[in-house]
Structure 1
Amino acid sequence: MKKLDLTKVPIRTGSLYPPPYAEMMEGRSSLRLGQAAGLTQFGVNLVTLKPGALSSLRHWHRTEDEFVMMVAGECVMITDDGEEIMRVGDCAGFPAGAPDGHHFINRGDTPVVFVVIGAKAREEVVTCSDVDMVLTVTDGACVYTHKDGRPWQPEGEENG
């Protein structure tokens, strides 16, 4: 077994979301532990949310299962069922294809840390629950569109 030195795993910040949503992810960082370990079947990320930060837009995956386990702090998980407090040791699973958007918000005053484990499908569709946006991934290439298939553009701007 190859032990990872977390101090040598690059810290990933920022977001793949287009404006104005990318800016909403400030305060979120992650370590891609699965990638650092050379895993190819599934991803393992150690996510840190600073106070006030959110993990993502509320979303669901068409083909990838996702599993989350809290390892430090306390945050709020928001799904279609409402809000639930997540504490150290709490876990949540999000089966592929279940259209129940989820995300996590740190409303506390200390950092929150959790592990995210998910499949690494070559093709995936991620639908945002509260925003008119869909991410389609094909062989690692990401394309954002509106839910009706139009190319992505911020609200109020026209294509062309």
Structure 2
Amino acid sequence: MTSSTSINADGISEPFAAETVPLEAFSQGERFGSSFRHLSSFGGGDHVGVALEELAPGKETNPSHYHMLEEEHAYILEGALTLRLGARAYVMKAGDYVCFPAGQKVGHSLFNHTSEPCRYLIIGERNPNDVIVYPDSGRVSVRLTGEGYRMSATMDYWEGIDTTASPAGRPQE
């Protein structure tokens, strides 16, 4: 077994202690940041994502968002946090669970309102075609292309198309 995966020399994924998975962290400004261990990647998985995350006091995981094609789940292991779900807020504590079904058009984010770290599992699909909507900023992220768009930049299906001209490449008679 190497230090970056639980897959042995025979290509078999073996059991491992979560604490042996490399700890990663991110932060963006004063508001956002967390640390996490990608358990599923370490274990050789690529269809379902499982991460053991820790959210420090006063931090939020990410901007409020929802997924069009991916389902996400969160299970609180230790501590407490506030789930922002659309216009509502819910305090979640150890033993609480929530599911964010694909296509549920209500943004969600997690915020640690306490003075202690909160540890939880995040479980979700890894759909390469997912579209993620960020209601607060109006951003739409298309995972397949790696691009983001503004929701306000929508256009009609026929906008920009000349509907009166002959098709390009039409054979000459």
Please state if 1:61 is matched with 2:72. no
Equivalence for 1:118: 124
1:45 correspondence with 2:51: yes
Offset of 1:120 from its aligned partner?
Answer: 0.9
Q: Looking at CA atoms only, which structure, 1 or 2, has the larger radius of gyration?
A: 2
Whether 1:9 aligns to 2:21 is yes
Structure 2 counterparts to residues 13-92 of structure 1, below 5 A: 13-14=25-26, 22-23=28-29, 24-26=31-33, 28-92=34-98
State the shift of 1:142 in Å. 2.3
Q: Could you tell me how far apart the structure 2 residues matched to 1:65 and 1:55 are?
A: 17
**Match for residue 109 of structure 2 among 92, 98, 103:** 103
Deviations 1:11-49 (A, max 9, x none): 22226xxxxxx32323x1111111111112210011111
C-alpha separation between the residues in 1 aligned to 2:153 and 2:20? 40
1:147 equivalent to 2:159? Answer no
> In the alignment, what sits opposite 1:19?
none
TM-score with structure 1 length normalisation? 0.81
Q: TM-score, normalised by structure 2?
A: 0.75
Tell me how many residue pairs correspond in the alignment. Answer: 141
Q: CA RMSD in A?
A: 1.7
1:148 deviates by 3.2
Instruction: Identify the residue that residue 8 of structure 2 maps to in structure 1.
Output: none
In percent, how many aligned pairs have the same letter? Answer: 23
In 2: Cα distance, 1:6 partner to 1:72 partner: 15
| Gapped regions of structure 2 (runs ≥ 5) | 1-12, 155-173
Aligned-partner SS, 1:35: helix
Question: Aligned equivalents of 1:103 and 1:79: distance in 2?
Answer: 7
Deviation of 1:3 after TM superposition, in Å, equals 1.8
AA aligned opposite 1:10: P
- Segments of structure 1 that go 5 or more residues without pairing to the other structure are 16-21, 151-160
What SS does the corresponding residue of 1:123 show, helix, strand or coil? coil
